[in-house]
Structure 1
Amino acid sequence: MASAPANNLPIFYNDLQPLSSVDHVDYRTKPVDSAPFLTTQHAIPLTVDEFVPAQRFAPIIFSAGDDSVPLLLMGLNEGVNVFVDDEGKLRGPAYVPAYVRRYPWMLAKLRPDSDDLSLCFDPTTPTIGAFEDGQPLFEDGKPSELTQGVMKFCEDFEQAAARTGQFVRDLQDMDLLMDGEVAIQTPVAEQPFVYRGFRMINEEKLRDLRGDQLRKINQNGMLPLIHAHLFSLQLMREVFEAQVSQGKGPIEAPAVEAAPEAANA
């Protein structure tokens, strides 16, 4: 059975196998109410389709480096996620990125010489297997309604990821991304806590765009996405304060540097 190399997989995935009507004909999936794999992930890939709903809950940033990707910042320090408890259950209102909701499924190329994508899953997940109960993945040897829904969700995700890639390329072409830095002053330290290692929209360059450039990003839908990103940055302090209240904040060092890394989508 084909399996992707574990060292070349996106975050969350430990292994990858194509779903087969032969090998997995009796497999079922169990519902879950938690995501333990999310507890130590502070920066989750986000598509442009999600900017508007996500910006009300957490900061949206861009990863450092040439191939930037949008990330939802669910914690300011590596290994900290303030939106879930130690079991991976939501602490309260939050936006759960489609990247998380897609797991343990994804579309992947099985052959390097073909662009065809196949529905695959992480076989290490405890939610899929030859269980006696749960929802079947196949019925009469054909994909069940659930499996068809999973396939549609993954296809929609791939299309959103393509739109996201184009959005970032357009930002780079207009030189609108810059290295970000956020300083948070607190009563417990004389020096502010400083967070770097990410990219953000350069508001000064945005204001100085030529009329034709501004008209272009307004007509192609980029402008609302840019504003959603900028508005969301105001939540940096709220995430910081949530870390402190949960006992996960940097309460000793006067300055901290956080560097969210890009994740393969």
Structure 2
Amino acid sequence: MASEPKASLPILYKDLIPLNSNQHGGWNARSVDRADWVVNQHAIPLTAEEFPAAQRDYPIVFSSGDKPVPLALMGLNEGVNVFFDDEGAPIGTPYVPAYVRRYPFLLAKIDPSSDNLSLCFDPTSSLIGEFEEGQALFDAEKNPTEHTQNLLQFCEKFEEAGMKTQSFVDELMKADLLMDGEVSIQRNDAPDQPFIYRGFKMVNQEKLREPRGDQLRKWNENGMLPLIHAHLFSLDLMRVVFGKQAQQGKGPVAPEAATVN
């Protein structure tokens, strides 16, 4: 159900090049009311600070593997997204994760020998290019415009949120709170053949009851407990997402098709 993003390129990105005034001095960035880049994405990375807002719409799980990543589930099956239509327009008013709003930009390390990050973008995106409409990325003197500075600031804040999220996940791992998840969902027309969803991690509620005293006080003070509870409460939305898939004709046709190992 939920796999880790590829190590080569982050999900959504097909290519990455650094933004620079020499090559992109006359380029503009478009603003759009739809996100066609998420149409076939069923799981989107989420920062911990987004949990309170995201848990109203999405089940929040953690990817499987040695380095779990928080994910907002937009569908329960590969290629299924019940929150955006086939053209990328939102269905209703769902929370849009920062990872989606950041695209096609991100900060990346260009020089392996340096820790400096550069503002990069996906050149295959139609959101940035040498066209007349949109916001200019550089002024006549080839200095970054206010729009570009705002993009950079957004990406910097996202990186900061990402580091805090990693610390949150590291603390969960240290406390051995994450376990392999499994959800069984029954359809009314097949009550004896439940759909089983696996391939993700979730907080072990039994182990969550074990910590006492200083440990619980620490998690409460650093904000971990509310995040954990937001994650756990959101899991009930898996059945809601399953129902949306059925309503939109995107649900699995047989229990076997829904089982993800």
TM-score bin, normalised by smaller chain: over 0.9
Q: How does 1:180-219 map to 2 (within 5 A)?
A: 180-189=181-190, 190-219=192-221
Q: Which residue of 2 aligns with 1:150?
A: 151
Q: Which residue of 2 aligns with 1:44?
A: 44
| CA contact 1:48–1:164 (8 Å) conserved in 2 | yes
Q: What SS does the aligned partner of 1:151 have? A: helix
Q: What SS does the aligned partner of 2:231 have? A: helix
1: CA distance between counterparts of 2:49 and 2:150?
Answer: 19
Normalising to structure 1: TM-score of the pair? 0.93
Q: Which residue of 2 aligns with 1:3?
A: none
1:21: Cα distance to partner? 1.1
| CA contact 2:61–2:70 (8 Å) conserved in 1 | yes
1:252: Cα distance to partner? 2.4
Provide, for residues 80-117 of structure 1, a one-character-per-residue CA deviation record: whole Å limited to 9, x for no partner. 00001111110112111101100000000001110000
Where do 5+ consecutive residues of structure 2 fail to align? 1-5
| CA contact 1:192–1:254 (8 Å) conserved in 2 | no
Provide, for residues 181-232 of structure 1, a one-character-per-residue CA deviation record: whole Å limited to 9, x for no partner. 1111111212111101100011111111122211111111100000100110
Q: What SS does the aligned partner of 2:199 have? A: strand
2: CA distance between counterparts of 1:163 and 1:7?
Answer: 20
| CA contact 1:197–1:257 (8 Å) conserved in 2 | no
1:106–1:231 Cα change, 3 Å: same
Where do 5+ consecutive residues of structure 1 fail to align? 1-5, 260-265
Q: Which residue of 2 aligns with 1:177?
A: 178
> What's the C-alpha RMSD, in Å, of the aligned pairs?
1.4
Q: What SS does the aligned partner of 1:71 have? A: strand
| CA contact 1:82–1:239 (8 Å) conserved in 2 | yes
| CA contact 2:182–2:197 (8 Å) conserved in 1 | yes
Quick one: which amino acid aligns to residue 201 of structure 2? R
1:250–1:210 Cα change, 3 Å: same
- Percent identical across equivalent pairs? 61
1: CA distance between counterparts of 2:251 and 2:91?
Answer: 17
1:255: Cα distance to partner? 6.3
2: CA distance between counterparts of 1:168 and 1:13?
Answer: 24
Q: How does 1:41-190 map to 2 (within 5 A)?
A: 41-140=41-140, 141-189=142-190, 190=192
Normalising to structure 2: TM-score of the pair? 0.94
